[in-house]
Amino acid sequence: MSIFKGSAVAIITPFQSNGDVDFDQFGALIDYQIAHKTDAIVVMGTTGEASTLTHEEHLACIEFCCKRVAGRVPVIAGTGSNCTETAIFLTKEADKAGADAMLVVTPYYNKATQKGLIAHFSAIAASTKKPLILYNIPGRTGCKMTAETVATLYKTVPNIVGVKDATGDFSEMAKLMSLVDDDFELYSGNDDQVVPVLSLGGSGVISVLAHCAPEDTHEMVASYLRGDVKKSKELQLKYIPLIKALFCEVNPIPVKAACQMMGFCNGVVRAPLTEMEEDNQILLWNEMKKLGIVTEVEA
């Protein structure tokens, strides 16, 4: 059974001016996303700045998100680490907090062989009965899972159900989809590649764009899945300039600036991330204004 089909927002973690998590703003953003057709919430992913939160903060955010969502949509908790035992710990705690599924990234910095990846993910999956989505993003981790490795994990570990693919490698994705069955869940990890991933049998997107355009990001997937490929394509192309602006600096710097422009947070990021450059803020504002997401009154 699919965890979700459609658009899951890879939600930011709002901070107060002193750097503490702003749970009031976090709750408001969660409610906004659900009210505007987002199909699932991914908490404590890359966009949530999980790498600079303490374990206590990390788990507090997952628990808060699960309680705030209260079953309205699935909650998928980021519980990956480059340390297998740490990932197991985070996964067990997220399970206790009520997460519906886990998103587990490939080990970073120390990396792993393909054999090591199979052992790593198998051990994490054995620590929970909840479904796991693997996360393949070699641009950030320096570690790429092959199609054969993902297929082996899917076929041999019952609760590994799919992958968030941010490789941009469509040949490898096509190979993967040829090795698995129709129940496998392929999610785009790149907002500018949603429709191509859907064309290979994908189930949706784990999205940054959804912060700014939740209804249209949902509809981009929903229209494709109901057979309206033309509408899906039109929505994909409509948002390409904004997607480009949302990634003109390292994620989540631009999307946090965008959320600030929309009134959802103060834009604070944790070091080593820094405030968005002024020229890029202007670029982002202009793209959001063209789409009617912000107005001059909000400037």
Q: How far apart are CA 221 and CA 48, in angstroms?
A: 23
Active site residue 109: no
> How deeply is 204 buried, as exposed, middle or buried, from its count of CB atoms within 10 A (0-12, 13-18, 19+)?
buried
Distance of CA 223 to the CA centre of its chain: 21
Q: Which two tokens stand for residue 121?
A: 């993910």
Which residues fall within 8 angstroms of residue 291, CB to CB, at 6 or more apart?
Answer: 212, 213, 238, 239, 242
Compute the chain's Rg from CA coordinates.
18
Q: Nearest Cα to 163, choosing from 140, 134, 121, 143? A: 134
Active-site pick, 108, 109, 115, 135: 135
Active site residue 92: no
CB–CB of 141/107 below 8 Å? yes
CB–CB of 37/218 below 8 Å? yes
Active-site pick, 164, 187, 224, 239: 164
Q: How far apart are CA 51 and CA 72, in angstroms?
A: 27
Cα–Cα distances (Å) from 126 to 100, 111, 129, 130, 190, in that order, read 16, 21, 7, 10, 29
- As a whole number of angstroms, the longest Cα–Cα distance in the chain is 55
Q: Which two tokens stand for residue 67?
A: 């309680």
* Catalytic residue positions, numbered: 135, 164
